[in-house]
A and B are shown apart, each in its own frame.
Chain A
């Protein structure tokens, strides 16, 4: 079965750029979506269709997807960005699948 893998944790200093990866076999051939989840809260969609942002999500959040790796990039990281981030994919062969999540720590 298809598997998408995320690093368990990423740490970054405030003001720097955080990059969170989602690795899967030929993941570039499908769309990837990203969710932010803060403690005790429901997930929030921050990027869909690889690189589109829902209304209300800051431009600091961006995404890319090519080859075997999709990446969520958070520019000018703020303390409020500290959260768990999940990638999610779907196509007719993978079903609907989440990555294991990445804990972003703002140092």
Chain B
């Protein structure tokens, strides 16, 4: 059973960098069969894809966030991470990590439970 678990600070100060880690169990990131992604959901709103990474380190980001986002991978720990710089209150959201099935299309088959990050001083 594939499981993903987000971890990181629940409170971030404006202008600072948000950092989250997703730990994967039940699958190996280095297996190379999937991509690994971050998605967020503003309170009471819809889903917004942030970006994803392949085990090799190749990344692809949502153009609207690209200038502030870095996703990295640590295959030795079976983890991948999100860094979002220069945060504002508009970055307050529940952040999910998810596994991405890729091929002719792309979709998310397993999700973490999500973690709420609040940006406030």
* A residues in contact (CB < 8 Å) with B: 30-31, 33, 35, 41-45, 48-49, 54, 86, 88-91, 95-101
Can you pick out 5 interface pairs between chain A and chain B where the beta carbons lie within 8 Å of each other?
A33-B108, A42-B111, A43-B108, A48-B101, A90-B106
- With a CB–CB cut-off of 8 A, which chain A residues contact B62? 95-96
Cα distance, A66 to B111, chains bound together (Å): 28
Tell me which of B105, B111, B114 has the highest count of chain A C-beta atoms within 10 A of its own C-beta.
Answer: B105
* Inter-chain contact B111/A48, CB cutoff 8 Å: no
Q: How far in angstroms is the closest Cβ of chain A from B62?
A: 7
Across the interface, A98 reaches (CB within 8 A) one of B49, B104, B111, namely B49
Tell me which of B47, B62, B109 has the highest count of chain A C-beta atoms within 10 A of its own C-beta.
Answer: B47
| Seed contacts A43-B96, A96-B106, A98-B48; 15 additional CB < 8 Å A-B pairs | A41-B113, A43-B47, A43-B111, A44-B111, A45-B107, A48-B101, A48-B109, A49-B107, A86-B46, A88-B47, A88-B108, A90-B107, A95-B49, A98-B47, A98-B49
Cα distance, A35 to B96, chains bound together (Å): 14
- With a CB–CB cut-off of 8 A, which chain A residues contact B32? none
Q: Is B63 an interface residue (CB 8 A)?
A: yes
Q: Is B8 an interface residue (CB 8 A)?
A: no
Q: How far in angstroms is the closest Cβ of chain B from A79?
A: 22
Number of B interface residues at 8 Å Cβ cutoff, please give it: 18
* B residues in contact (CB < 8 Å) with A: 46-49, 62-63, 96, 101, 104-109, 111-114
Secondary structure of the B contact surface, majority rule: strand
- With a CB–CB cut-off of 8 A, which chain A residues contact B112? 42
* Inter-chain contact A42/B105, CB cutoff 8 Å: no
Secondary structure of the A contact surface, majority rule: strand
Cα distance, A41 to B105, chains bound together (Å): 25
Cα distance, A89 to B107, chains bound together (Å): 8
* Inter-chain contact B104/A99, CB cutoff 8 Å: no
- With a CB–CB cut-off of 8 A, which chain A residues contact B101? 48
Across the interface, B107 reaches (CB within 8 A) one of A88, A95, A100, A101, namely A88
Cα distance, A97 to B62, chains bound together (Å): 9
* Inter-chain contact A31/B47, CB cutoff 8 Å: no
Across the interface, B105 reaches (CB within 8 A) one of A33, A44, A95, namely A33
